[in-house]
Structure 1
Amino acid sequence: MNHATTKRRAESFLLLAALAASAAGCASKASAESATQAAAPPVRVETTEVREAPMPRSLALTGTLRGDRQTDLAANAVGRVLETFVERGDAVKKGDLLARLDVRAAALTAAEAQANAALTRAQEETAKRECERYRALFEGGAISRAEHDRIADQCRSAPLSVAAATARARAAAQSVGDGQIRAPFDAMVTERFVDVGEYVRHDSRVVALVSKGALRLEFTVPEASLAAVKTGGALTFTVPAYPGRSFSGAVRWIGASVREATRDLVAEAEVEDPDGALRPGMFASIALATGEAPSPVVPRSAIVAKEGRAHLFAVVDRRIEERVVQTGAEKGDLVAVLRGVRAGDAIVMKPAQGLENGQAVE
């Protein structure tokens, strides 16, 4: 027997040994898993049967939550920022002071305007007396009509000068008042754009405010689905921050025209947020109700949220079978299941923590 033949036989022997060891390992692992499942004590669960029921049909859309009132508040004045009184997340009331500007130059201008207004009022009084005197002289023939008319014109223009000077004084005083930037409504501060020492102009953003409480859900509807959107129509939505939780609202405002660039229409809904969980700016996945159709339904208590997905525990051949499902519309305590179960399947009503796939059921 030559050396090459011996080498091939040795390699074949080693390969067969490796395959035998691998098969033995897999068999051992499968045996261990079977032993583990067999050793796990059966659990007692309350089950119910998946049934079909009329559930709302819905149109899947996306949107963004907005405050009922929100604004980037501008300075409406010119000057250096002397003080700021709010931080991001602060709650403010209407009229609360948000920032104060250096308005010394505006104050000097206001003082000058007020002095000019006082001067024109004094000149008006003088003009009135002159008019009375010249009227008496004219009636007595002591002066000509031309001279009388010249003084009479001055008397008529004097009140106009007073009005103009008073308006300038008020505008200057307003500029001084605008140096104290105040909240226009009850709100939360979402952003502060200025700090002490910065120079701002009339259109400079100072703080961003959003009203507390009521929220709006702004969303777009494709042109082909416009017939499904009606004022008062119900919708539900979810947000990534609260997987497994659904919020509701009603359509209140529908845009008057379709946008040519995107071929869609903007609509808004009033949102119910009883515990203040939602925040403006959140992205929302919306289900807009368009009617009803039969659908498999399960109690809400049967659904468990895990890693942003909905799970159910079915009972098949007296063992637990965990399933990832796609949920749909809700009505009362029922939730439509679009994918993952069928009518007639047995599911666990209130899954206990620690329930595992493959676990035996009593």
Structure 2
Amino acid sequence: MNSLRLAALFVVLLPVAASAQGNLQFVKPEVAPPAEPLRLPVRTAPAEQAYIYSRATGLLAERRVDLGDIVQAGDVLAVIAAPEIQRAAERAAAAVAQATARAELAEANVRRTRALGEKAVLSNAEAEIGEANAKTAAADLLAAQADAKRLTELVAFQQIRAPFDALVVNRQFDRGDFIPGDSTTNGRWLFHLARVNELRGLLDVAPATALALRPGQAAVVEFTELPGKKFPAKVARAAGLIDAASGTMRVELTLPNPERQIPAGLNGVALITPAGANARLLRVPVNAIVVRDGRQHVAIVREGKVAFVPVRTGRNTGARIEVIEGLAADASIIVNPNGLLQEGQPVPAAPSP
């Protein structure tokens, strides 16, 4: 009776095993072609820029630069006429001289009262008063010196200087205009400076692209307005934050511009070869990839038996998909493996290459 049951079970399982093994197709992995460079929209921006305000109040006596001029760090851009500040600085210098004389006189009185106190000519109380007067005079001298220093700095602020080598890209005042001091309160800056001998290339890219870029990667930037010219650049930095509104990450390129051919604010295209693009990658048919336990696998024939090997995939071109790691170049891959194949199941027919 048991033998009859076993025979019946064998008859049932035989077609299942045959369907799992029958009509299997085998391929070898092929070498993937080199990766195409990423084409990303880019917008240029100055390497650094600054809006120059005035700390001094007065009339614009001189404007030494204009739109489009190139300036060096420390160059005088404008001069503000404020004679009342100059007179105040002179009064402060005189006040320092007066305070110095009073401090010296008070110190001399201290020395005199000490000498008389030792001879019992003056009381200790008078000596203490003299020492207190000397300390007061010394404090007055420090206050006068601080006020003189403040006014000296205000006099220096009458000359507006460039903080770095830059191009004057805008200005808002002409000679004779009234310049309000600390004009940040009303937004009236004097000059807008930008350093454009080096530019930043601003990219807003998808997360997958941002993670594929590395600082120092080479790039080439092209502009429609500058046909036939390719400008070398490098990936400089990434924000490290995906913007919640746009779903993109800010990445910046460093773009040398020594001849100032490229204006800031120009839109172009950055061509960047992804990291690892020169590695020798393999690719297989898309239908050779199966998911087991939440991971991608490829079914191969190893020593005449089925084996599922985990792989990490890359670019998907539609019919083919790159395998970054986990697959040998000489592996025999089972194409479109059905769900009945099991790990270790024998493959009777020799796979064709």
Query: Helix, strand or coil for the counterpart of 1:69?
Result: strand
Is 1:235 the counterpart of 2:219? The answer is yes
Task: Map Cα deviations across residues 254-297 of structure 1 (whole Å, 9 max, x no partner).
Answer: 33544455444333221133543212222233233324389xxx
1:114 to 70, 90, 93: 93
Task: Map Cα deviations across residues 111-144 of structure 1 (whole Å, 9 max, x no partner).
Answer: 1111111111111111110110111122222333
Q: Decide whether the 8 Å contact of 2:196 with 2:257 is kept in 1.
A: no
What CA distance in whole angstroms lies between the structure 1 residues aligned with 2:170 and 2:35?
40
Aligned counterpart, 2:114: 135
Amino acid of the structure 2 residue aligned with 1:70: Q
What CA distance in whole angstroms lies between the structure 2 residues aligned with 1:139 and 1:236?
87
Q: Kindly report which structure 2 residues correspond to 1:216-231, keeping only aligned pairs within 5 A, or say none.
A: 216-231=200-215
What CA distance in whole angstroms lies between the structure 2 residues aligned with 1:167 and 1:85?
32
Aligned counterpart, 2:169: 190
Is 1:64 the counterpart of 2:64? The answer is no
Q: Decide whether the 8 Å contact of 1:54 with 1:293 is kept in 2.
A: no
Structure 1 segments unaligned to the other structure (5+ residues): 1-51, 295-362
Amino acid of the structure 1 residue aligned with 2:57: V
Task: Check 1:146–1:258 CA distance in 2 against 1; reply closer, same or farther (3 A cut).
Answer: farther
Task: Map Cα deviations across residues 61-102 of structure 1 (whole Å, 9 max, x no partner).
Answer: 333322233211112221121221212111222332211111
Task: Check 1:170–1:250 CA distance in 2 against 1; reply closer, same or farther (3 A cut).
Answer: same
Q: Decide whether the 8 Å contact of 2:198 with 2:258 is kept in 1.
A: no
Q: Kindly report which structure 2 residues correspond to 1:250-265, keeping only aligned pairs within 5 A, or say none.
A: 250-265=234-249
Q: Decide whether the 8 Å contact of 1:110 with 1:173 is kept in 2.
A: yes
What CA distance in whole angstroms lies between the structure 1 residues aligned with 2:116 and 2:247?
80
Q: Structure 1 length as normaliser, TM-score?
A: 0.60
Aligned counterpart, 2:143: 164
Q: Decide whether the 8 Å contact of 1:57 with 1:293 is kept in 2.
A: no
What CA distance in whole angstroms lies between the structure 1 residues aligned with 2:242 and 2:143?
48
What CA distance in whole angstroms lies between the structure 2 residues aligned with 1:219 and 1:169?
50
Aligned counterpart, 2:159: 180
Aligned counterpart, 2:308: none
Q: Structure 2 length as normaliser, TM-score?
A: 0.62
Query: Helix, strand or coil for the counterpart of 2:197?
Result: coil
Aligned counterpart, 2:306: none
What CA distance in whole angstroms lies between the structure 1 residues aligned with 2:157 and 2:133?
36
Give percent identity, aligned residues only. Answer: 27
What CA distance in whole angstroms lies between the structure 1 residues aligned with 2:32 and 2:68?
45
Query: Helix, strand or coil for the counterpart of 1:77?
Result: coil
Task: Check 1:258–1:293 CA distance in 2 against 1; reply closer, same or farther (3 A cut).
Answer: same
Task: Check 1:220–1:147 CA distance in 2 against 1; reply closer, same or farther (3 A cut).
Answer: farther
What CA distance in whole angstroms lies between the structure 2 residues aligned with 1:258 and 1:127?
68
Q: CA deviation at 1:54?
A: 4.7
Q: CA deviation at 1:176?
A: 1.5
Number of residue equivalences: 244
What CA distance in whole angstroms lies between the structure 1 residues aligned with 2:169 and 2:132?
58
Is 1:202 the counterpart of 2:186? The answer is no
Task: Map Cα deviations across residues 202-222 of structure 1 (whole Å, 9 max, x no partner).
Answer: 234111112252222233334
What CA distance in whole angstroms lies between the structure 2 residues aligned with 1:284 and 1:138?
87
What CA distance in whole angstroms lies between the structure 1 residues aligned with 2:249 and 2:122?
77
Task: Map Cα deviations across residues 319-338 of structure 1 (whole Å, 9 max, x no partner).
Answer: xxxxxxxxxxxxxxxxxxxx
What CA distance in whole angstroms lies between the structure 1 residues aligned with 2:236 and 2:208?
20
Task: Check 1:123–1:190 CA distance in 2 against 1; reply closer, same or farther (3 A cut).
Answer: same
Q: CA deviation at 1:110?
A: 0.9
Aligned counterpart, 2:337: none
Q: Decide whether the 8 Å contact of 2:197 with 2:259 is kept in 1.
A: no
Q: Which portions of structure 1, spanning 4 or more consecutive aligned residues, are displaced by more than 6 angstroms? A: none
Q: Decide whether the 8 Å contact of 1:100 with 1:179 is kept in 2.
A: yes
